[in-house]
């Protein structure tokens, strides 16, 4: 086992609490970032999390330095780690160490061994921060914000535009039928109210970020977006609109090229096109009536389809709507058992129809 590092339970809990909201959700195809990366340089323990849209890095100075390491604790194991840390008194001394395929946490409440993948890749967070800070003119003063006020904008719209003149000027926020301002935070202690710059930030974090580099890496490019299967809906209104229109055109054009001896194929293409067009019309109407509700609905739908239990969702929805899905299943089974025209086809020697899935 590698040499151990030591820090308090309070510090480890703070690292997890600060970064966990930025980790990618489990099941979205972003396995490399669906957790927290614990990265020790021997002096500080860093916790890093990103979901491709945001990234947060928190650090705590180690009470007992140890050998550098970097391991990622993923979603399900992260919950277990969080519960274990919370069970300790704030000032309890916790030790961290690595062993083959494990990240080992030890404290007064016992030892927790979490499975990890040795050598697992993770976005280069140091290069990401260097790139972002380098894009800001070196002498640009910072503006301080009260972060607890940011949540007040969560119902303004799912997407908003902002402008900021800098310094002590307010942030201008613009959404659909929403416009507003947020004032910057002013420190009460004049001696501490200094103009921090990107150079100051780099100096403060120089032991963690290392030397500057000419290489560049942008957050959106750090982790490739997951490829969706053909059965997965878009996660935004724009993506869903495109897919529904594409499906409508594909289905309605292919109904004319369906096998002439298989009327079921043509019907399947027609129904697919009709349903895609109907979904597009409903979505378009919802966007005009309530853009936020449309965006939330599309996001929920994408998660349901990713879940892979569409039949279960539909069954429960049918019951809640007062229908009897079991009766529908029985009627479908009976129709297959006594399918019209089957005997005539058998007698004439025509090939039997096979199921066709529209593209």
Estimate the crossing angle of helix 75-86 against helix 9-19, to 10 degrees.
140
**What pLDDT does 254 receive?**
66
Cα–Cα–Cα angle for 184, 49, 139, rounded to 5 degrees: 40
pLDDT beyond 60 at 348: no
32: how many CB neighbours lie within 10 A of its CB?
19
Is 78 exposed, middle or buried, given 0-12, 13-18 or 19+ CB atoms closer than 10 A?
buried
Domain boundaries, the chain: 1-142+195-227, 144-194, 237-348
What's the rounded Cα separation, in Å, for the pair 244 and 281?
Answer: 10
User: What mean pLDDT is predicted for residues 338-348?
Assistant: 50
2-16 per-position pLDDT tens digit: 668 999 999 999 999
Query: Which is nearest to 37 in space by CA: 7, 9, 59?
Result: 59
Superfamily the domain 1-142+195-227 falls into:
DNA Polymerase III, subunit A, domain 2 (3.10.150.10)
What's the rounded Cα separation, in Å, for the pair 243 and 150?
Answer: 33
DSSP per position, 116-146: --TT-----HHHHHHHHHHTS-TTPPP----
What pTM did the predictor assign? 0.67
173-231 per-position pLDDT tens digit: 998 889 999 999 876 555 444 557 888 888 889 999 988 788 888 887 888 766 554 45
DSSP per position, 188-257: S-GGG-----HHHHHHHTHHHH-S--S----HHHHSPPPPPPTTSPPSSHHHHHHHHHHHHHHHHHHGGG
**What pLDDT does 196 receive?**
76
pLDDT beyond 90 at 58: yes
DSSP per position, 19-69: HGGGSPPTTSS-GGGSEEEEEE-SSEEEEEEE-SS-EEEEEEE-SB----E
**What pLDDT does 3 receive?**
66
Q: Which residue has the higher pLDDT, 247 or 80?
A: 80
């Amino acid at each position: 086992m590698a040499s151990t590092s030591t820090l308090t339970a309070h510090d480890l809990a703070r690292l997890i609490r600060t970064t966990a909201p930025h980790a990618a959700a489990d099941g979205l195809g972003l396995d490399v970032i669906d957790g927290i990366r614990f990265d020790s340089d021997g002096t500080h323990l860093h916790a890093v999390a990103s979901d491709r849209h945001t990234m947060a890095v928190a650090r705590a100075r180690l009470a007992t330095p140890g050998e550098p390491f970097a391991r990622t604790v993923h979603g399900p194991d992260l919950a277990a780690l969080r519960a274990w840390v919370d069970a300790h008194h704030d000032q309890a001394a916790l030790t961290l160490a690595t062993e083959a395929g494990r990240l080992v946490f030890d404290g007064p409440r016992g030892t927790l061994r979490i499975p990890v993948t040795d050598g697992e890749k993770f976005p280069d967070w140091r290069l990401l921060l260097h790139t972002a800070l380098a894009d800001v003119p070196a002498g640009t003063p910072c503006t301080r914000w009260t972060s607890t006020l940011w949540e007040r904008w969560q119902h303004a719209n799912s997407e908003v535009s902002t402008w900021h003149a800098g310094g002590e000027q307010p942030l201008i926020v613009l959404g659909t039928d929403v416009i507003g301002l947020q004032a910057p935070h002013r420190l009460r202690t004049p001696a501490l109210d200094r103009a921090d710059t990107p150079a100051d930030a780099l100096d403060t974090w120089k032991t963690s970020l290392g030397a500057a580099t000419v290489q560049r890496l942008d957050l959106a490019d750090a982790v490739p977006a997951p490829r969706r299967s053909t059965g997965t809906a878009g996660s935004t209104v724009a993506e869903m609109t495109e897919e529904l229109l594409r499906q409508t055109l594909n289905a309605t054009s292919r109904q004319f090229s369906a096998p002439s001896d298989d009327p079921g194929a043509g019907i399947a293409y027609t129904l697919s096109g009709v349903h895609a067009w109907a979904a597009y019309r409903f979505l378009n109407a919802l966007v005009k009536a309530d853009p936020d509700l449309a965006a939330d609905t599309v996001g929920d739908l994408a998660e349901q389809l990713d879940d892979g239990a569409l039949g279960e969702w539909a069954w429960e929805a049918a019951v809640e709507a007062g229908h009897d899905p079991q009766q529908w299943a029985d009627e479908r089974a009976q129709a297959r058992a006594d399918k019209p025209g089957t005997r005539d086809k058998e007698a004439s020697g025509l090939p039997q129809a096979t199921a066709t899935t529209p593209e």
